[in-house]
Amino acid sequence: DAGVTQSPTHLIKTRGQQVTLRCSPKSGHDTVSWYQQALGQGPQFIFQYYEEEERQRGNFPDRFSGHQFPNYSSELNVNALLLGDSALYLCASSSPGGLQETQYFGPGTRLLVL
Amino acid sequence: AQSVSQHNHHVILSEAASLELGCNYSYGGTVNLFWYVQYPGQHLQLLLKYFSGDPLVKGIKGFEAEFIKSKFSFNLRKPSVQWSDTAEYFCAVNAREAGNMLTFGGGTRLMVKP
């Protein structure tokens, strides 16, 4: 039973470029959440996708956008990269649990913006 | 908006010592509470979770946590740590009325000396 997978594992970009990160949820899960983890900090919620729609969004600018596909996999896109976007980007998947939902995390994509 | 505080940023213990990591949150409504662990070079893994019922929750690897509603706390404990417990520990809160986003604390880095 595969867990949450993410690609690529590492990425180096320059300021102003655009990046796309990918996530496949755990088998049986249909909800995907994205988090940004800066060095030395806890993860911060970016947004969550369910039924191919953005269901909830954290305090991130419109440069951060996403997509969910019919097979429940998801992409995170970041436009006009800034140095401060350098971080570990985590994907978490879950199945709808009403008020009791547990999120399971992937290994992350480490993005370095130069 | 909810917030989570982990007051101990770094903890160093010898093997067999007892562990207690503090976690306090600020939110007046109903919450789900989680502890995640990130071992060196590995991804975030769920240690334990609280949704309702018995406020003393047991997780994997001998960890437990106690939800004290009056203190807005969810401290993590282990009676006797091992060198393999060296990791970073994150407390996370989901405020039920705020959707399914997780709000994380800043993490506690635990080092266990053999």
Lookup: tokens for A80: 């006009």
**A68 in any annotated domain:** yes
Percent residues over pLDDT 90 in chain B: 86
Scanning every residue of chain A, which has its alpha carbon at the shortest distance from the alpha carbon of B31? A99
Amino acid at residue number A101: E
Question: Which of B8, B47, B102, B108 is most worth mutating to test chain A (most A CB atoms within 10 A of its CB)?
Answer: B102
Percent residues over pLDDT 70 in chain B: 100
**A103 in any annotated domain:** no
**A51 in any annotated domain:** yes
Does B97 score more than 80 pLDDT?
A: no
Q: Which residues of B touch A35 (CB under 8 A)?
A: 102, 104
Region A33-51: mean pLDDT is 95
Note the CATH number of domain B3-113: 2.60.40.10
Q: Which residues form the domain of A59? A: 5-98
Percent residues over pLDDT 90 in chain A: 90
Lookup: tokens for B75: 């401290």
The number of CA neighbours under 13 Å toward the Cβ of A50 is 16
**A108 in any annotated domain:** no
Lookup: tokens for B108: 């506690």
Q: How far apart are CA B51 and CA A33, in angstroms?
A: 20
- Whole-number pLDDT of residue B99: 80
Query: Sorting pLDDT into bands at 50, 70 and 90, what band is A2?
Result: confident
Distance from CA of A106 to the nearest CA of B (A): 6
Contact at CB, A42 and B104, closer than 8 angstroms? yes
Residue A26 burial by Cβ neighbours in a 10 Å radius (0-12, 13-18, 19+)? buried
Number of domains in chain A: 1
Q: How far is CA B79 from CA A88, B15, B16, B97, B114, in A?
A: 32, 11, 8, 34, 16
**Run of H or E including A38:** none
For residues B88 and A43, the answer to whether their CB atoms sit within 8 Å is no
CATH number for A27: 2.60.40.10
Q: How far apart are CA A109 and CA A78, in angstroms?
A: 13
**A22 in any annotated domain:** yes
pLDDT in tens, B2-34: 899 998 899 999 999 999 999 999 987 889 999
**Considering CB atoms only, which of B45, B96, B101 is closest to A56?**
B101
Phi, psi of B27 (to 5 degrees): -170, 130
pLDDT in tens, B56-75: 999 999 999 999 999 999 99
Q: How far apart are CA A10 and CA A21, in angstroms?
A: 10
pLDDT in tens, A45-98: 999 999 999 999 999 999 999 999 999 999 999 999 999 999 999 999 998 766
Q: How far apart are CA B36 and CA B53, in angstroms?
A: 20
Q: Which residues of A touch B106 (CB under 8 A)?
A: 40-42
Region A12-30: mean pLDDT is 96
Q: Three-state SS for A89?
A: strand
Question: Which of A33, A46, A88, A100 is most worth mutating to test chain B (most B CB atoms within 10 A of its CB)?
Answer: A100
Q: Between residues A19 and B98, which one has the greater pLDDT? A: A19
